[in-house]
Amino acid sequence: MWCISKLLSSGSILLIFLSLFSPGSSSSRNSRNRLISYAQHNIATISSNAVAQANEIVEHMLEDLRVLNSHNTFVLGYQQRLIEFNAQAKYSNRIGNETDSTLNAFYDIVGVYLNADVPEKPIEVLLIEFCFQRNGLDRWKRTVHMRIGQLLKIIGDKLELFMDTLDSKEVREVIKQRWQSVKARGGQRKLNRLHEFLEWFHGLELEN
């Protein structure tokens, strides 16, 4: 009892003790954790749906190419890549994870088609492009883009509310700039950049 009374009589030690359990710091961390958890859950949902729909496109593509029965080496090589993706997507669906790597694999497969800057595409590439269009790749891209855009809007609003709770202007500015860089960068892999932001955000030192 004497030891406890002695410690409590020391103002400096008491202040240190209270600072370790600062309600502002705990509240900020909890708010950040809830925001990150929300974002990760929605990223997983978007990725899972996108992979399932991408696999449907690939299966229809394989049917078209089998009917075509081309002996062109480019077409045959592309067909093999589709077969490998099909197997990877089914495995990912069975074990219930790794959707991000599967989605990236799909982006790699359609990379030739998505690159609009390629001049005078060879006839083989045009054939693959036609098959993708026929089987709904453009619709898939619009859907994924729309869902990612909606998620970014919601997360941005939540970030604004979170930053309003922070005392440090410097920390608010760092978060704002980092988030703007995520939104400003286009392309098909925004989910990857969102993942990177969340990892950075989770490790950010909060002063309150």
How far are the Cα atoms of 78, 102, 134, 187 from residue 67, in angstroms, in the given order?
15, 26, 14, 33
Our count of domains for the chain comes to 1
Q: Which helix (H) or strand (E) holds 2?
A: helix 2-8
Output 150-156 pairs: Cβ under 8 A, ≥24 positions apart.
151/39, 151/42, 151/43, 151/46, 151/194, 152/182, 152/183, 152/190, 152/194, 154/42, 155/35, 155/38, 155/39, 155/194, 156/183
Model pLDDT for residues 132-172, shown as the tens digit of each residue = 999 999 999 999 989 999 999 999 999 999 999 888 899 99
Q: Give the residue, 61 or 91, on which the prediction is more confident.
A: 61
| Average pLDDT taken over every residue of the chain | 81
The boundaries of the domain holding residue 173 are 25-203
In one-letter notation, the amino acid at residue 66 is R
Establish if 93 belongs to a structural domain: yes
Establish if 53 belongs to a structural domain: yes
Establish if 193 belongs to a structural domain: yes
Name residue, tokens 């074990």.
95
Establish if 1 belongs to a structural domain: no
Contact by Cβ (8 Å): 170, 15: no
Establish if 208 belongs to a structural domain: no
Model pLDDT for residues 167-200, shown as the tens digit of each residue = 889 999 999 999 988 887 665 678 888 989 999 9
pTM of the model: 0.77
Establish if 2 belongs to a structural domain: no
Query: pLDDT value at position 69?
Result: 87
Residue 70 pLDDT level (bands cut at 50, 70, 90): confident
Establish if 68 belongs to a structural domain: yes
Contact by Cβ (8 Å): 102, 51: yes
Establish if 13 belongs to a structural domain: no
